[in-house]
Amino acid sequence: MGVTLTALLEQIANGTMMGAIYVLVALGLVLIFGVMEVLNFAHGVVFMAGGYACDFFFVHLFGNYPAVVILTMLTLALVGLALERAVFRRLRVNVPMQIVASLGLILMAQNAAVLLFGPSALQLSVPTVHSLIRVGDLSFTVQHVVVIVAAVAAIVLLQAFLHWTKLGIALRATSQNPDAARVVGIDPDRIYRITFAVSCALAGLGGALLGPLFLISPQMGDLPMLKGLTAIVLGGMGSIPGAIIGGLAIGIIEAVSTLFISTDYRDMVVFVILIAILLVRPWGLFGVRVRGEA
Amino acid sequence: MRARATRLTAGVLFAAIVYLLAWAFDHSPYVLFALTLTLCYAIPAMALNLLLGYTGLVSLGHMGFAGIGAYVTALLMKKGGLAFAPSLLAGTLAAGLAGVLVGVPCLRLRGHFFIIVTLAVGIVLFLLFNNLDWLTGGAAGLPGIPRPRSIDLGVAVLDPRRPVGFYLAAATIFLLVFAIQYGLVHSDFGRSLAAIRQDETLAASRGVDVFAHKLAIFALSAAIAGLGGGLLAVFLRAVAPQSFGFLEDINLVLIVIVGGAGSLFGPTLGALLFIALPEALRIADSVRMLLFGLALLALALLAPRGLWGLALTAAQRLRGAQSAVSHAERS
Amino acid sequence: MGRPFSAAVVSAMASLCVIASAGAAEKSVDIGIVGARTGPLAAAGKFQFNGFDLAVDAINKAGGVKIGNDTYKIALKIYDTHCNAAEGASAMERLANVDHVVVVLGEVCSPAAAAEAPVASDYSIPLILTVPTAPDLTKQGNTFLFRVNADTDQLNKALAAYIVEHRWSPLAFIAWNNDAGRGGVNGMKALLPKDIAIGYVGYFDVGTVDFSSDVTNIRKSGARAVMLLMDEEPGALAIRQIRDAGVDAQLVGTLAMGSDRFLKRVDAKYLDGMAQYNAFPPGAAAPRIVEFAKAYHAKFGEEAHGFAAQSYDGLMLAVKAMQAAGTASDGAAIKKALSAQSYDGVIGHIQFDGDNQAHPPVYVTQWCNDGTRKIDFPADMRSGCGGG
């Protein structure tokens, strides 16, 4: 089967766009894991909540998409604070119960979405989805570009926060060594709250960006969460650059693979990669190998 | 010696109760159905408990092995015309073999890495069940799996086509697995597993072949899960990929954790809750799953050691209260 | 308070008694419904429930149904199975042994139906399917299982004939990765003659909606036509993405892509020329369809869906069978009556064959460039633009 250059370029472009979404999800996951050692399986429903919130605000408040996106991020940040306080604070060392609580949250959120918004998926119509860009044989909506630009902006802001603000540096310090951080006067509990808030804001951004492009449904966050998880394993569980590279890589590999194998195995490709990484180099590309862990 | 005699009596009593439930609910087929379904899920739960509760390995893809058992059993009975017992045995062995194939490369990993790799394996297995139309019937699954034929026991005839008959057959298999679980936990092998759960490096320094133990228990656990899957397939008379997918994997882990990981009765208690509670909530059908999610959340926050742990704590408090009273009376 | 008050109370209570006893003469028969209220196929399930609701409304508003010597109102007992086999079996067991229903209808997914069917047989309760399409379901020799809707093989036959007639080769597919999608593709492949080449087959999981890879591959394969085996929601996206990428192939749709609701999701310019097969062309001029569409719109404020029509007919048929059998409690007798029924419903003529499978008509409609549709197949129902 001859693979034309056009097809390859088109898939790389598609993959970069989906990869940007995975990066946003992965960043949220890696922040919480890096700082709190918590694997938040409910991250997918936070993503989903971002999509629904965006739709709700756009339709019922004001029809200005950029403003609505920012509002969604703020709302989900508050949700993150609530989650940390009510649920995850108490379960920090109890991994099995984290899983129980996460599933409880997933069930509640997905069913609440059905009860509030009905079982049919929502279609959010914003202008950027209707205008097309044509590059040779390929065509994309402006929203594709918006997603990539927004993701890049989020990454830049996040890095600025982590490296140039006191709070951000405190966050990194806590992730490296919570006890030492306490010694220098950092309040870990405050850091955990902020971490959760930022993480959920990023997931909410992902949902708000993806929603108009596709559909807003209760299950929309499930696969992105799993792909984001794969991304952080690929990149290295505590590493932010790793999450970025990992997310992009997963997006592109997934898209390009469909040129060679049937699409019903597309998801399998990602999970086989996940297994392969874990068997060969579990600490990922940029992670730190911890003796005794792998 | 005394302790063993007590344990033996307790075991016989437990078995008797399980069997007697069939007569108690002889005229309530719905209750028997729910109980049989509970037993079918309790078996893979006990299998996972051996891994999670006793060895400290969290496997998030374990229903995949149940699925292998289910499909092998179903295909042999439906397309191959084989009898129940050999089909079920084949399903169990196939799942065990899969356990070995997965375990050898994956058991080197620990902690979060092991959790994630088992999650991925579970999803890959589900995708195979769903996509291999020619073998597994694909997404539509396999309808029309026959029930086992009647068995003449001399004093009575056991007919698995009827609710009581199948319940008794399932109960027998359940008790067998329970006995295996019990025997394992109280053996040297089991004690080594507990040592591995506490501290792998320490166990290794004491001469325990950690990897061999982990592999053995993983394979056994996979085989028992396959046994449960095969039983489920014949009980429902239909196999479908969704019964062995991501949500079911998580469900199984929850059953073990909520019931009380690391205890003998925990998995059974968890299965009972997870089957009985949603059925009871059918009165509020539209909010059923939401309430169930709420219940799980409440449980995670209030009962960190699971239901069995709750029961034990309650028992301790009672004993503590009693001894405080008798203490007060004496003084 | 005094005499007048107590007299008023007594007469009020007396009239209440009269009303109560009049109400007590009214009997009701419980009919069980299984389907997807939650989970990924809840949207499809909603249309199905709507159809049952509409039928029950029609019957009860007319005063109920006369079975034997009594008049009965219909009451529905609905359980959510969210496309899970174990839940399906549980729901059936409960309906049979706790709610004591006399007949069960519904289900969306074939795997759940596969687990429900044996339970129906166990307790002699007819189970009438109105949506699942896996052909195997009615081939297990279960005399208590009936299916009102066309199965995948029947749907494919109509479409295969249409595709061959128009010589659309090579043909590409994008399909749901579930029983409906995979079954559809496999069935079509088996039915199409060798001279229709299969260009590309792409599956996607229910819920995922990114067709960019499929679009690239379709363009690469040079397909003349693309068949979309999915429901409205992903269908709208797929069509938009295909056309936005500049791929001009003929589109062949399915299920509810021939509806005005679908038109709202996608612009008319995208749909022009697309053909789809359907059990229910909502705009057809046939009186049975016009009446149903009006009633559905009046109650639910939206355009009717094929699943609703199929379910409506299913329930009406069940009630007719009860009347024919003269019983609202004997499942075996009702089953016998069902097998013998010959019924003209909203979806057309319904009569069960030896496998208890009905053979309702399957239509192919085509979109015109002004946002209306016409019926192109079967030939005797051909219409101009606006008649589909």
Per-residue pLDDT band for B289 (boundaries 50, 70, 90) equals confident
What local confidence, expressed as pLDDT, does residue B328 receive?
A: 62
A282 prior amide bond cis, ω within 30: no
* Model confidence at B280: pLDDT above 50: yes
Residues lower than pLDDT 50 in chain A: 1, 293-294
The residue assigned the tokens 């792909």 is A227
Same domain membership, residue C176 and residue C309: no
The residue assigned the tokens 């969290």 is B58
- Which member of B131, B140, B236 has the closest CB to residue C179? B140
CB contact under 8 A, C245 and A139: yes
Q: Give the total number of structural domains in chain B.
A: 1
Q: How close is the nearest chain A Cα to the Cα of B301, in Å?
A: 7
- Residue A253 placed within a domain: no
Distance between CA atoms of C28 and A269, rounded to whole angstroms?
Answer: 55
Chain A: touching chains (3 or more CB pairs < 8 Å): B, C
In A, minimum Cα distance to B120 occurs at: A271
- Residue A75 placed within a domain: yes
Q: Which domain holds residue B182?
A: 2-330
pLDDT one-digit tens code per residue, B211-270: 999 999 999 999 999 999 999 999 999 999 989 988 888 889 888 988 888 888 889 999
What would the mean pLDDT of B52-62 be, rounded to a whole number? 89
What local confidence, expressed as pLDDT, does residue B329 receive?
A: 61
In B, minimum Cα distance to A91 occurs at: B301
Residue B81, exposed/middle/buried by CB under 10 A (0-12, 13-18, 19+)? exposed
For chain B, the distance separating the N- and C-terminal CA atoms, rounded to the nearest angstrom, is: 36
CB contact under 8 A, A264 and C38: no
pTM of structure: 0.86
Beta bridge partners of B239: B142
CB B137 within 8 A of CB C110: no
The residue assigned the tokens 């006191």 is A166
Same domain membership, residue C315 and residue C244: no
Same domain membership, residue C269 and residue C301: no
Residue of A16, A17, A144, A214 to mutate, testing the C interface (most C Cβ within 10 Å of its Cβ):
A214
Q: C147 contacts in B (CB within 8 Å)?
A: none
CA distances to A123, C175, C256 from C251, in Å: 22, 13, 14
CB contact under 8 A, A138 and C209: no
Amino acid at A108: M
Q: Give the total number of structural domains in chain C.
A: 2
Q: Which domain holds residue A117?
A: 24-234
- Which member of C37, C80, C134 has the closest CB to residue B140? C134
Rounded to the nearest angstrom, the gap between the alpha carbon of residue C306 and the centroid of all alpha carbons in its chain is 5
Among A99-108, B30-39, B181-190, the minimum mean pLDDT is found in: A99-108
Which two three-digit tokens encode residue C179?
A: 């029983």
If one compares B47 and C191, the residue with the highest pLDDT of the two is B47
CB contact under 8 A, B140 and C182: yes
Same domain membership, residue C64 and residue C49: yes
For the domain that residue C368 is a member of, what is the CATH number?
Answer: 3.40.50.2300
Per-residue pLDDT band for C16 (boundaries 50, 70, 90) equals very low
Same domain membership, residue C104 and residue C243: no
- Which member of A90, A96, A292 has the closest CB to residue B261? A96
Highest mean pLDDT among B42-51, B315-324, C31-40, C360-369: B42-51
What would the mean pLDDT of C148-159 be, rounded to a whole number? 86
What would the mean pLDDT of C261-266 be, rounded to a whole number? 77
The whole-chain average pLDDT of chain C stands at 85
pLDDT one-digit tens code per residue, A157-206: 998 998 899 888 888 888 888 788 888 888 888 888 999 999 999 999 99
Of the candidates A34, C149, A129, C86, the residue with the CA atom closest to the CA atom of residue B141: C86
The residue assigned the tokens 């949500």 is B247
Q: Which domain holds residue C256?
A: 153-278+363-381
* Model confidence at B150: pLDDT above 70: yes
Same domain membership, residue C240 and residue C328: no
What local confidence, expressed as pLDDT, does residue C1 receive?
A: 41
Same domain membership, residue C375 and residue C247: yes
The whole-chain average pLDDT of chain B stands at 87
The residue assigned the tokens 């700082």 is A35
What is the 8-class DSSP label of residue C158?
H
For the domain that residue B168 is a member of, what is the CATH number?
Answer: 1.10.3470
pLDDT one-digit tens code per residue, C294-306: 999 999 998 888 8
As a whole-number percent, the residues of chain B with pLDDT over 90 amount to: 38
Q: How close is the nearest chain A Cα to the Cα of C304, in Å?
A: 15
Distance between CA atoms of A50 and A75, rounded to whole angstroms?
Answer: 8
What would the mean pLDDT of C151-160 be, rounded to a whole number? 84
Distance between CA atoms of C175 and B6, rounded to whole angstroms?
Answer: 61
- Which member of C202, C210, C244 has the closest CB to residue A214? C210
pLDDT one-digit tens code per residue, C27-57: 889 999 999 987 778 888 999 999 999 999 9
- Residue C259 placed within a domain: yes
As a whole-number percent, the residues of chain C with pLDDT over 90 amount to: 40
CB B232 within 8 A of CB B178: no
Same domain membership, residue C271 and residue C371: yes
Of the candidates B127, B128, B106, the residue with the CA atom closest to the CA atom of residue B117: B106
* Model confidence at C25: pLDDT above 70: no
CB contact under 8 A, A214 and C201: no
Same domain membership, residue C371 and residue C309: no
Query: CA angle A292-A293-A294, nearest 5°?
Result: 95
Amino acid at B73: T
- Residue C274 placed within a domain: yes
Q: Give the total number of structural domains in chain A.
A: 1
> Where are the alpha helices (H) located in chain A, listed in sequence order?
5-36, 43-60, 65-83, 95-117, 127-130, 142-164, 166-176, 178-183, 188-213, 222-235, 240-257, 266-280
